[in-house]
Amino acid sequence: MALSDCEIIELPKIHDPRGNLTFIENSRHIPFDIQRVYYLYDVPGGADRGAHAHRSLHQFIVAMSGSFDVVLDDGDRKRRFHLNRSFNGLYVAPMMWRYLDNFSSGAVCMVLASSFYDEADYYRDYGEFVAGVKSVKGSKE
């Protein structure tokens, strides 16, 4: 998967004077089936989260409240995304190093994930991640 596969997806939005409504239906709106939902909240000012990559996990990140940035790095190039709308989300393909920063106060970051939590799926060392990217590319050549 390439960095260009990771993009902001605009979700359906039902406008209503009583309040807007957005929904997400598995692979209809995001490119995977959801097995897990987790969220970050009460993030102190100046904190960074993430700083890891996943071997096979697909994720979709939504700023449910407030705003923050997600920086994606495919081992070669980096891209920074600003999330600040609850009807938008960022699709993060497997094998992308990511960190989250620039959290506004009260920000809530919801993550939809394609699998249950599995520590064995993580790269927590950037050097190992880059070596992993090279070995995946090498095996495809």
Cβ atoms of 70 and 80 closer than 8 Å: yes
Q: Does 40 interact with ligand TYD (rule: CB under 6 A)?
A: yes
52 in catalytic set: yes
Characterise 50 by phi-psi region: left (phi > 0), alpha (psi -120 to 50), beta (else): left
Residue 81 has φ and ψ, to the nearest 5°, of -115, 135
Q: Does 41 interact with ligand TYD (rule: CB under 6 A)?
A: no
Nearer to ligand TYD, 52 or 85 (CB): 52
Q: Does 50 interact with ligand TYD (rule: CB under 6 A)?
A: yes
Cβ atoms of 56 and 121 closer than 8 Å: yes
Q: Closest approach of Cβ 11 to ligand TYD, in Å?
A: 21
- Stretch (H or E) spanning 127: helix 126-140
Which 67-86 positions form the footprint of ligand TYD (CB under 6 A)?
none
**Binding residue for ligand TYD (CB under 6 A) from 23, 39, 41, 117?**
117
**Binding residue for ligand TYD (CB under 6 A) from 23, 38, 39, 41?**
38
Q: How far apart are CA 39 and CA 124, in angstroms?
A: 19
Positions in the binding site for ligand TYD (CB under 6 A): 36, 38, 40, 49-50, 52, 117
| Residues recognised as catalytic | 52
